[in-house]
Amino acid sequence: MPLRDSGKVRNATGSYPWRVDNDYSTIVVLTNIGNQPARFQVELRYPGGPYSIKQRELAVGEAASFDLRQIRDEQQPDRIGKILPANLDRGQFHWSLVVTPGEARIIGRAEVVSRSGRVASSYSCPVCCPDSGPAGHFDPNAYGLSVDGFVYTNAHGDYYDCYYNYYLGSVSFSQIFTYNTGIATVDGGGQLNGIAVGSTDVEGDYTYLEWYNDGMDCYQYYGYGSATAPVQVLRVTWTTPGGVGQNGGGVPMSNGTPPQGSPAFINTTTMTATGSPSGGTYSWSTSSNKVTLTNTSSATVTVTAQTESENTGDVSISLTYTLNGNSVTVPVPFTVQKPTFMDYVSTDNSGAESCPAGKSGPYKDITWQLADKNHNPIKFAIPTYDTLTNNTPNSCSVPAAGEGTPPGSSTGAGGRWGHHYSVCSSACNNGGSCSVTGSQKYFANGSEIDQSYTMSCASITVDGH
Protein backbone atom coordinates (compact mmCIF):
# COMPACT_ATOMS: atom_id res chain seq x y z
CA MET A 1 0.00 0.00 0.00
CA PRO A 2 1.24 3.45 -0.73
CA LEU A 3 2.52 5.18 2.31
CA ARG A 4 2.05 8.74 1.28
CA ASP A 5 -0.32 11.51 1.93
CA SER A 6 -2.50 12.40 -1.01
CA GLY A 7 -1.22 15.91 -0.90
CA LYS A 8 -1.89 18.39 -3.63
CA VAL A 9 -3.47 17.59 -6.94
CA ARG A 10 -0.05 17.91 -8.51
CA ASN A 11 0.63 14.53 -7.01
CA ALA A 12 -2.05 13.03 -9.22
CA THR A 13 0.55 12.08 -11.81
CA GLY A 14 3.90 10.37 -11.74
CA SER A 15 6.83 8.98 -13.68
CA TYR A 16 8.81 6.02 -12.30
CA PRO A 17 11.76 4.03 -13.56
CA TRP A 18 10.99 0.32 -13.95
CA ARG A 19 13.12 -2.72 -14.67
CA VAL A 20 12.46 -6.42 -15.07
CA ASP A 21 15.97 -7.68 -15.96
CA ASN A 22 17.31 -10.76 -14.19
CA ASP A 23 14.97 -11.37 -11.26
CA TYR A 24 13.90 -7.76 -10.93
CA SER A 25 10.22 -7.09 -10.77
CA THR A 26 8.32 -3.83 -10.90
CA ILE A 27 4.77 -3.44 -9.76
CA VAL A 28 2.99 -0.10 -9.86
CA VAL A 29 -0.15 0.51 -7.86
CA LEU A 30 -2.47 3.46 -8.47
CA THR A 31 -5.19 4.18 -5.94
CA ASN A 32 -8.14 6.51 -5.96
CA ILE A 33 -7.93 8.18 -2.58
CA GLY A 34 -10.37 10.97 -3.43
CA ASN A 35 -14.09 11.23 -2.89
CA GLN A 36 -15.18 10.84 -6.51
CA PRO A 37 -14.46 8.47 -9.38
CA ALA A 38 -11.31 9.39 -11.25
CA ARG A 39 -9.91 8.54 -14.67
CA PHE A 40 -6.28 7.92 -15.37
CA GLN A 41 -4.13 6.72 -18.20
CA VAL A 42 -0.69 5.14 -18.38
CA GLU A 43 2.10 5.36 -20.92
CA LEU A 44 5.22 3.19 -20.81
CA ARG A 45 8.05 5.10 -22.40
CA TYR A 46 11.06 3.34 -23.92
CA PRO A 47 13.08 3.49 -27.16
CA GLY A 48 10.65 2.34 -29.82
CA GLY A 49 7.66 3.13 -27.63
CA PRO A 50 5.41 4.31 -26.28
CA TYR A 51 3.04 1.65 -25.00
CA SER A 52 -0.26 3.34 -24.18
CA ILE A 53 -2.70 1.69 -21.84
CA LYS A 54 -6.33 2.59 -22.43
CA GLN A 55 -7.92 5.06 -20.07
CA ARG A 56 -9.57 3.56 -17.04
CA GLU A 57 -11.78 4.85 -14.28
CA LEU A 58 -11.18 4.03 -10.64
CA ALA A 59 -14.00 4.05 -8.13
CA VAL A 60 -13.45 5.67 -4.79
CA GLY A 61 -10.93 3.59 -2.88
CA GLU A 62 -10.22 1.32 -5.84
CA ALA A 63 -6.66 0.44 -6.79
CA ALA A 64 -5.15 -0.63 -10.09
CA SER A 65 -2.00 -2.75 -10.19
CA PHE A 66 0.46 -3.07 -13.08
CA ASP A 67 3.01 -5.91 -13.10
CA LEU A 68 5.48 -4.86 -15.79
CA ARG A 69 6.98 -8.34 -16.23
CA GLN A 70 3.52 -9.83 -16.65
CA ILE A 71 2.51 -7.18 -19.18
CA ARG A 72 5.63 -7.90 -21.20
CA ASP A 73 5.68 -11.69 -20.93
CA GLU A 74 1.97 -12.14 -21.67
CA GLN A 75 2.35 -9.78 -24.62
CA GLN A 76 -0.71 -7.84 -23.53
CA PRO A 77 -1.81 -5.41 -26.25
CA ASP A 78 -2.22 -1.73 -25.53
CA ARG A 79 -5.10 0.42 -26.73
CA ILE A 80 -3.96 0.22 -30.36
CA GLY A 81 -2.81 -3.39 -30.23
CA LYS A 82 0.86 -2.70 -29.66
CA ILE A 83 2.86 -5.11 -27.46
CA LEU A 84 6.09 -4.67 -25.53
CA PRO A 85 9.23 -6.14 -27.13
CA ALA A 86 10.00 -9.49 -25.50
CA ASN A 87 13.53 -8.35 -24.65
CA LEU A 88 12.53 -4.99 -23.19
CA ASP A 89 13.66 -4.93 -19.57
CA ARG A 90 13.41 -1.30 -18.47
CA GLY A 91 11.80 2.06 -19.14
CA GLN A 92 9.68 4.77 -17.62
CA PHE A 93 6.17 4.33 -16.24
CA HIS A 94 4.19 7.53 -16.70
CA TRP A 95 0.68 7.92 -15.37
CA SER A 96 -1.69 10.80 -14.90
CA LEU A 97 -5.13 11.69 -13.74
CA VAL A 98 -6.99 12.76 -16.88
CA VAL A 99 -10.30 14.23 -17.90
CA THR A 100 -11.73 14.23 -14.41
CA PRO A 101 -13.04 17.62 -13.33
CA GLY A 102 -13.41 18.40 -9.70
CA GLU A 103 -11.31 17.33 -6.75
CA ALA A 104 -10.38 13.83 -7.85
CA ARG A 105 -7.25 12.35 -6.31
CA ILE A 106 -5.13 9.39 -7.38
CA ILE A 107 -1.78 8.48 -5.95
CA GLY A 108 0.76 6.01 -7.25
CA ARG A 109 3.75 3.99 -6.09
CA ALA A 110 6.19 1.67 -7.81
CA GLU A 111 7.86 -1.26 -6.01
CA VAL A 112 11.07 -2.52 -7.62
CA VAL A 113 12.35 -5.76 -6.07
CA SER A 114 15.28 -8.10 -6.75
CA ARG A 115 15.78 -11.03 -4.40
CA SER A 116 19.23 -11.86 -5.80
CA GLY A 117 20.30 -8.26 -5.74
CA ARG A 118 18.77 -7.75 -2.32
CA VAL A 119 16.96 -4.71 -3.68
CA ALA A 120 13.53 -3.46 -2.62
CA SER A 121 12.90 0.09 -3.85
CA SER A 122 9.76 2.12 -3.65
CA TYR A 123 9.19 5.13 -5.88
CA SER A 124 6.60 7.79 -5.51
CA CYS A 125 7.82 10.53 -7.76
CA PRO A 126 5.42 13.39 -8.24
CA VAL A 127 5.98 15.58 -11.18
CA CYS A 128 4.12 18.85 -11.45
CA CYS A 129 0.50 19.02 -12.59
CA PRO A 130 -1.43 16.15 -14.13
CA ASP A 131 -1.32 15.76 -17.88
CA SER A 132 -3.53 17.98 -20.02
CA GLY A 133 -5.74 16.78 -22.78
CA PRO A 134 -7.03 15.23 -24.77
CA ALA A 135 -7.21 16.97 -28.13
CA GLY A 136 -9.30 14.38 -29.95
CA HIS A 137 -8.78 13.23 -33.54
CA PHE A 138 -10.35 10.58 -35.66
CA ASP A 139 -7.81 8.02 -36.73
CA PRO A 140 -7.86 7.65 -39.71
CA ASN A 141 -9.07 11.16 -40.36
CA ALA A 142 -11.33 10.28 -43.36
CA TYR A 143 -13.69 7.41 -44.09
CA GLY A 144 -14.96 5.78 -47.24
CA LEU A 145 -17.66 3.17 -47.22
CA SER A 146 -20.29 1.73 -49.49
CA VAL A 147 -24.02 2.11 -49.49
CA ASP A 148 -25.35 -0.55 -47.10
CA GLY A 149 -21.79 -1.13 -45.91
CA PHE A 150 -20.15 -0.13 -42.65
CA VAL A 151 -16.78 0.74 -41.16
CA TYR A 152 -15.65 1.35 -37.61
CA THR A 153 -14.30 4.72 -36.65
CA ASN A 154 -11.29 5.04 -34.40
CA ALA A 155 -9.92 7.99 -32.49
CA HIS A 156 -7.02 9.06 -30.30
CA GLY A 157 -6.30 11.97 -27.99
CA ASP A 158 -3.22 14.14 -27.83
CA TYR A 159 -1.91 14.78 -24.27
CA TYR A 160 0.98 16.68 -22.82
CA ASP A 161 2.52 16.65 -19.43
CA CYS A 162 3.61 19.65 -17.45
CA TYR A 163 6.93 19.64 -19.29
CA TYR A 164 5.06 19.81 -22.58
CA ASN A 165 6.01 16.31 -23.60
CA TYR A 166 3.28 15.28 -26.03
CA TYR A 167 1.99 11.75 -26.39
CA LEU A 168 -1.00 9.89 -27.77
CA GLY A 169 -3.67 8.50 -25.53
CA SER A 170 -7.32 7.61 -25.50
CA VAL A 171 -10.30 9.81 -26.08
CA SER A 172 -13.86 8.98 -25.14
CA PHE A 173 -16.62 10.65 -27.07
CA SER A 174 -19.60 11.76 -25.05
CA GLN A 175 -21.59 11.67 -28.28
CA ILE A 176 -20.90 10.84 -31.88
CA PHE A 177 -23.08 11.71 -34.88
CA THR A 178 -23.04 12.51 -38.58
CA TYR A 179 -24.14 15.78 -40.10
CA ASN A 180 -26.33 14.16 -42.76
CA THR A 181 -28.01 10.99 -41.64
CA GLY A 182 -29.40 10.55 -45.15
CA ILE A 183 -25.86 9.83 -46.29
CA ALA A 184 -24.42 7.98 -43.32
CA THR A 185 -25.26 7.20 -39.72
CA VAL A 186 -23.03 6.28 -36.81
CA ASP A 187 -23.95 4.35 -33.69
CA GLY A 188 -22.65 4.68 -30.15
CA GLY A 189 -20.02 2.07 -30.80
CA GLY A 190 -18.52 4.18 -33.57
CA GLN A 191 -19.85 2.07 -36.45
CA LEU A 192 -20.46 4.16 -39.56
CA ASN A 193 -23.26 2.90 -41.81
CA GLY A 194 -23.56 3.93 -45.46
CA ILE A 195 -27.08 5.02 -46.39
CA ALA A 196 -26.80 6.77 -49.77
CA VAL A 197 -24.15 8.00 -52.16
CA GLY A 198 -22.73 11.32 -51.03
CA SER A 199 -20.52 13.13 -48.56
CA THR A 200 -20.98 14.14 -44.95
CA ASP A 201 -18.89 14.45 -41.76
CA VAL A 202 -18.76 12.49 -38.57
CA GLU A 203 -18.28 14.38 -35.33
CA GLY A 204 -17.29 13.11 -31.91
CA ASP A 205 -17.61 15.35 -28.84
CA TYR A 206 -15.46 15.02 -25.77
CA THR A 207 -14.39 16.85 -22.64
CA TYR A 208 -10.86 17.87 -21.84
CA LEU A 209 -8.89 19.28 -18.93
CA GLU A 210 -5.98 21.62 -19.08
CA TRP A 211 -3.80 22.18 -16.05
CA TYR A 212 -1.69 25.07 -15.15
CA ASN A 213 0.10 26.02 -11.97
CA ASP A 214 0.89 29.26 -10.32
CA GLY A 215 4.07 27.96 -8.74
CA MET A 216 2.22 26.77 -5.69
CA ASP A 217 -0.57 24.55 -6.86
CA CYS A 218 -2.31 23.19 -9.93
CA TYR A 219 -5.51 24.53 -11.36
CA GLN A 220 -7.71 23.02 -13.97
CA TYR A 221 -9.56 24.35 -16.97
CA TYR A 222 -12.46 22.23 -18.05
CA GLY A 223 -13.79 22.38 -21.61
CA TYR A 224 -15.53 20.69 -24.46
CA GLY A 225 -13.93 19.68 -27.72
CA SER A 226 -14.94 17.96 -30.89
CA ALA A 227 -13.24 15.93 -33.60
CA THR A 228 -14.56 15.68 -37.12
CA ALA A 229 -13.72 13.60 -40.17
CA PRO A 230 -15.15 13.60 -43.69
CA VAL A 231 -17.22 10.60 -44.69
CA GLN A 232 -17.61 9.60 -48.35
CA VAL A 233 -20.28 7.03 -49.16
CA LEU A 234 -19.62 5.31 -52.48
CA ARG A 235 -21.47 2.78 -54.49
CA VAL A 236 -19.97 0.35 -56.97
CA THR A 237 -22.10 -2.07 -58.90
CA TRP A 238 -21.22 -4.55 -61.59
CA THR A 239 -22.94 -6.34 -64.40
CA THR A 240 -21.99 -9.37 -66.40
CA PRO A 241 -23.75 -11.48 -68.99
CA GLY A 242 -24.60 -14.96 -67.88
CA GLY A 243 -25.12 -14.49 -64.16
CA VAL A 244 -25.10 -17.49 -61.83
CA GLY A 245 -27.37 -17.64 -58.81
CA GLN A 246 -28.71 -14.53 -57.12
CA ASN A 247 -25.65 -12.33 -57.16
CA GLY A 248 -22.90 -14.09 -59.03
CA GLY A 249 -21.20 -14.17 -62.37
CA GLY A 250 -20.29 -17.08 -64.58
CA VAL A 251 -17.95 -17.91 -67.42
CA PRO A 252 -18.23 -21.01 -69.60
CA MET A 253 -15.39 -23.45 -69.93
CA SER A 254 -14.36 -24.85 -73.30
CA ASN A 255 -12.62 -28.07 -74.22
CA GLY A 256 -10.49 -28.61 -77.32
CA THR A 257 -10.95 -26.88 -80.66
CA PRO A 258 -14.19 -26.27 -82.54
CA PRO A 259 -15.12 -28.85 -85.18
CA GLN A 260 -15.72 -28.02 -88.83
CA GLY A 261 -18.58 -25.58 -89.20
CA SER A 262 -18.76 -24.64 -85.54
CA PRO A 263 -18.66 -21.11 -84.22
CA ALA A 264 -15.66 -20.33 -82.03
CA PHE A 265 -15.82 -21.73 -78.52
CA ILE A 266 -16.56 -19.32 -75.71
CA ASN A 267 -14.41 -19.27 -72.60
CA THR A 268 -14.39 -15.61 -71.71
CA THR A 269 -16.82 -13.06 -70.43
CA THR A 270 -16.69 -9.50 -69.21
CA MET A 271 -17.75 -7.70 -66.09
CA THR A 272 -18.43 -4.00 -66.12
CA ALA A 273 -18.35 -1.88 -62.99
CA THR A 274 -20.03 1.44 -62.37
CA GLY A 275 -18.88 3.58 -59.50
CA SER A 276 -20.87 6.40 -57.98
CA PRO A 277 -20.08 9.25 -57.67
CA SER A 278 -18.26 8.92 -60.98
CA GLY A 279 -14.68 9.88 -61.68
CA GLY A 280 -12.94 7.19 -59.67
CA THR A 281 -10.70 4.30 -60.60
CA TYR A 282 -11.34 0.58 -60.67
CA SER A 283 -9.28 -2.40 -59.66
CA TRP A 284 -10.13 -6.07 -60.12
CA SER A 285 -8.30 -8.97 -58.55
CA THR A 286 -8.63 -12.60 -57.65
CA SER A 287 -6.57 -15.15 -55.80
CA SER A 288 -8.21 -18.03 -57.64
CA ASN A 289 -6.39 -20.05 -60.30
CA LYS A 290 -9.69 -21.05 -61.90
CA VAL A 291 -9.83 -17.81 -63.89
CA THR A 292 -7.49 -15.17 -65.24
CA LEU A 293 -8.30 -11.49 -65.41
CA THR A 294 -7.20 -8.95 -68.00
CA ASN A 295 -7.68 -5.17 -68.09
CA THR A 296 -7.86 -5.17 -64.30
CA SER A 297 -7.48 -1.41 -64.01
CA SER A 298 -10.42 -0.51 -66.18
CA ALA A 299 -14.15 -0.47 -65.60
CA THR A 300 -14.56 -3.57 -67.76
CA VAL A 301 -12.52 -6.64 -66.94
CA THR A 302 -12.26 -9.77 -69.07
CA VAL A 303 -12.57 -13.08 -67.26
CA THR A 304 -11.14 -16.19 -68.91
CA ALA A 305 -11.98 -19.66 -67.65
CA GLN A 306 -9.10 -21.96 -66.68
CA THR A 307 -10.51 -24.82 -64.61
CA GLU A 308 -14.01 -25.88 -63.65
CA SER A 309 -15.63 -24.71 -60.42
CA GLU A 310 -16.41 -27.40 -57.87
CA ASN A 311 -19.06 -25.34 -56.13
CA THR A 312 -21.23 -22.45 -57.19
CA GLY A 313 -19.48 -19.16 -56.60
CA ASP A 314 -16.21 -20.69 -55.46
CA VAL A 315 -14.18 -18.14 -57.43
CA SER A 316 -13.93 -14.89 -55.53
CA ILE A 317 -13.24 -11.79 -57.58
CA SER A 318 -12.68 -8.55 -55.77
CA LEU A 319 -13.74 -5.18 -57.18
CA THR A 320 -12.39 -1.97 -55.63
CA TYR A 321 -13.59 1.50 -56.53
CA THR A 322 -11.50 4.44 -55.37
CA LEU A 323 -12.51 8.08 -55.41
CA ASN A 324 -10.50 10.87 -53.80
CA GLY A 325 -8.51 8.40 -51.75
CA ASN A 326 -11.58 6.63 -50.39
CA SER A 327 -12.25 3.08 -51.51
CA VAL A 328 -14.99 0.54 -51.37
CA THR A 329 -14.47 -3.10 -52.17
CA VAL A 330 -17.15 -5.59 -53.07
CA PRO A 331 -16.71 -9.31 -53.59
CA VAL A 332 -18.05 -10.90 -56.76
CA PRO A 333 -18.74 -14.62 -56.46
CA PHE A 334 -17.94 -16.28 -59.74
CA THR A 335 -18.42 -19.74 -61.21
CA VAL A 336 -16.50 -21.45 -64.01
CA GLN A 337 -19.16 -23.48 -65.79
CA LYS A 338 -18.34 -26.61 -67.73
CA PRO A 339 -21.29 -27.82 -69.81
CA THR A 340 -22.40 -30.95 -67.97
CA PHE A 341 -26.16 -31.33 -68.25
CA MET A 342 -28.99 -30.65 -70.64
CA ASP A 343 -31.69 -30.03 -68.05
CA TYR A 344 -35.27 -30.57 -69.11
CA VAL A 345 -37.35 -27.40 -69.44
CA SER A 346 -40.53 -28.26 -71.30
CA THR A 347 -42.22 -30.36 -73.93
CA ASP A 348 -43.51 -27.88 -76.44
CA ASN A 349 -45.23 -29.95 -79.09
CA SER A 350 -45.82 -33.52 -80.13
CA GLY A 351 -47.83 -35.31 -82.78
CA ALA A 352 -47.49 -37.03 -86.12
CA GLU A 353 -44.34 -36.20 -88.08
CA SER A 354 -44.54 -35.17 -91.76
CA CYS A 355 -42.64 -38.17 -93.04
CA PRO A 356 -41.60 -38.97 -96.59
CA ALA A 357 -43.98 -41.09 -98.59
CA GLY A 358 -44.18 -44.62 -97.30
CA LYS A 359 -43.04 -43.74 -93.78
CA SER A 360 -44.84 -42.52 -90.67
CA GLY A 361 -44.16 -41.89 -87.01
CA PRO A 362 -44.31 -39.36 -84.17
CA TYR A 363 -42.40 -36.21 -83.30
CA LYS A 364 -41.76 -34.37 -80.07
CA ASP A 365 -40.28 -30.91 -79.45
CA ILE A 366 -38.38 -30.51 -76.20
CA THR A 367 -36.59 -27.47 -74.79
CA TRP A 368 -33.41 -28.11 -72.81
CA GLN A 369 -31.30 -25.87 -70.63
CA LEU A 370 -27.54 -26.19 -70.79
CA ALA A 371 -26.23 -26.40 -67.22
CA ASP A 372 -23.07 -26.93 -65.21
CA LYS A 373 -22.35 -29.75 -62.74
CA ASN A 374 -24.42 -28.02 -60.07
CA HIS A 375 -27.30 -27.54 -62.51
CA ASN A 376 -26.74 -23.79 -62.77
CA PRO A 377 -27.90 -22.58 -66.19
CA ILE A 378 -25.06 -21.59 -68.50
CA LYS A 379 -26.47 -18.36 -69.84
CA PHE A 380 -24.34 -17.97 -72.94
CA ALA A 381 -24.75 -18.78 -76.62
CA ILE A 382 -22.64 -21.93 -76.52
CA PRO A 383 -21.66 -23.66 -79.80
CA THR A 384 -23.55 -26.93 -79.71
CA TYR A 385 -24.20 -29.89 -81.95
CA ASP A 386 -25.43 -33.40 -81.37
CA THR A 387 -25.33 -36.92 -82.72
CA LEU A 388 -27.73 -39.81 -82.26
CA THR A 389 -26.58 -43.41 -82.24
CA ASN A 390 -29.26 -46.08 -82.48
CA ASN A 391 -28.92 -49.56 -81.09
CA THR A 392 -29.11 -51.97 -83.99
CA PRO A 393 -30.78 -54.00 -85.16
CA ASN A 394 -34.05 -52.39 -84.15
CA SER A 395 -37.64 -53.03 -85.09
CA CYS A 396 -37.95 -49.59 -86.72
CA SER A 397 -35.23 -50.60 -89.20
CA VAL A 398 -33.47 -47.26 -88.81
CA PRO A 399 -29.69 -47.24 -89.25
CA ALA A 400 -27.15 -46.92 -86.45
CA ALA A 401 -26.57 -43.27 -87.24
CA GLY A 402 -29.62 -41.17 -86.49
CA GLU A 403 -30.06 -37.63 -87.73
CA GLY A 404 -28.39 -35.04 -85.55
CA THR A 405 -27.58 -31.36 -85.61
CA PRO A 406 -24.33 -30.58 -87.42
CA PRO A 407 -21.88 -28.07 -85.98
CA GLY A 408 -22.87 -24.53 -86.74
CA SER A 409 -25.51 -23.70 -84.17
CA SER A 410 -25.36 -22.31 -80.68
CA THR A 411 -27.68 -22.36 -77.74
CA GLY A 412 -29.78 -19.27 -77.19
CA ALA A 413 -28.26 -16.41 -75.22
CA GLY A 414 -29.74 -17.91 -72.08
CA GLY A 415 -28.30 -21.35 -72.84
CA ARG A 416 -31.52 -22.95 -74.04
CA TRP A 417 -31.76 -25.42 -76.84
CA GLY A 418 -34.90 -26.51 -78.61
CA HIS A 419 -34.81 -29.96 -80.14
CA HIS A 420 -37.16 -31.61 -82.59
CA TYR A 421 -37.16 -35.41 -82.28
CA SER A 422 -38.86 -37.69 -84.77
CA VAL A 423 -38.97 -41.16 -86.14
CA CYS A 424 -40.20 -42.07 -89.63
CA SER A 425 -40.45 -45.78 -90.25
CA SER A 426 -42.39 -48.00 -92.60
CA ALA A 427 -43.01 -50.17 -89.56
CA CYS A 428 -45.31 -47.48 -88.17
CA ASN A 429 -47.63 -47.47 -91.18
CA ASN A 430 -51.22 -48.61 -90.71
CA GLY A 431 -51.04 -48.65 -86.92
CA GLY A 432 -47.92 -50.74 -86.84
CA SER A 433 -45.39 -50.64 -84.05
CA CYS A 434 -41.64 -50.50 -83.65
CA SER A 435 -39.09 -49.30 -81.15
CA VAL A 436 -35.55 -48.04 -81.22
CA THR A 437 -33.29 -47.08 -78.33
CA GLY A 438 -30.02 -45.24 -78.39
CA SER A 439 -27.96 -42.40 -77.04
CA GLN A 440 -27.84 -38.75 -77.96
CA LYS A 441 -24.51 -37.06 -77.46
CA TYR A 442 -24.42 -33.30 -77.17
CA PHE A 443 -21.15 -31.47 -77.70
CA ALA A 444 -21.37 -28.07 -76.09
CA ASN A 445 -18.22 -25.94 -76.18
CA GLY A 446 -16.38 -29.24 -76.69
CA SER A 447 -17.83 -31.00 -73.63
CA GLU A 448 -19.84 -34.16 -74.19
CA ILE A 449 -23.26 -34.62 -72.58
CA ASP A 450 -24.98 -38.00 -72.99
CA GLN A 451 -28.70 -38.66 -72.93
CA SER A 452 -30.57 -41.86 -73.67
CA TYR A 453 -33.78 -42.12 -75.65
CA THR A 454 -36.50 -44.52 -76.66
CA MET A 455 -38.51 -43.87 -79.81
CA SER A 456 -41.52 -45.86 -80.88
CA CYS A 457 -44.43 -45.38 -83.26
CA ALA A 458 -46.49 -44.10 -80.34
CA SER A 459 -44.09 -41.95 -78.33
CA ILE A 460 -40.64 -40.48 -77.92
CA THR A 461 -38.88 -40.33 -74.57
CA VAL A 462 -35.54 -38.57 -74.11
CA ASP A 463 -33.73 -38.66 -70.77
CA GLY A 464 -36.97 -39.68 -69.11
CA HIS A 465 -39.07 -36.90 -70.65
Binding site for other proteins (CB under 8 A): 257-262, 354-357, 359, 361, 363, 367, 381, 384, 386, 388, 390, 396-399, 401-414, 416-428, 436, 455
Rg (Cα) of the chain, in Å, rounded?
38
DSSP assignment of 65-108 equals EEEHHHHHHTT---TTS----TT--EEEEEEEE-S--SS--EEE
Nearer to other proteins, 305 or 382 (CB): 382
Nearer to other proteins, 230 or 418 (CB): 418
Nearest alpha-carbon partner for 115 in 19, 28, 23, 20: 23
The nearest distance, CB 273 to other proteins, in angstroms, is: 28
The nearest distance, CB 241 to other proteins, in angstroms, is: 15
Nearer to other proteins, 205 or 365 (CB): 365
Nearer to other proteins, 215 or 356 (CB): 356
Nearer to other proteins, 151 or 396 (CB): 396
Q: Whole-angstrom Cα distance, residue 416 to residue 199?
A: 46
Residues β-bridged to residue 462: 453
Handedness of CA 176, 181, 187, 193 (dihedral sign): negative
The nearest distance, CB 395 to other proteins, in angstroms, is: 9
Answer for the pair 10, 130: CB distance below 8 angstroms, yes or no: yes
CA 347 to chain CA centroid, Å, is: 44
Residues β-bridged to residue 455: 436, 460
Q: Whole-angstrom Cα distance, residue 41 to residue 97?
A: 7
The nearest distance, CB 418 to other proteins, in angstroms, is: 4
Answer for the pair 323, 280: CB distance below 8 angstroms, yes or no: yes
Nearer to other proteins, 59 or 413 (CB): 413
Answer for the pair 43, 167: CB distance below 8 angstroms, yes or no: yes
Nearer to other proteins, 275 or 402 (CB): 402
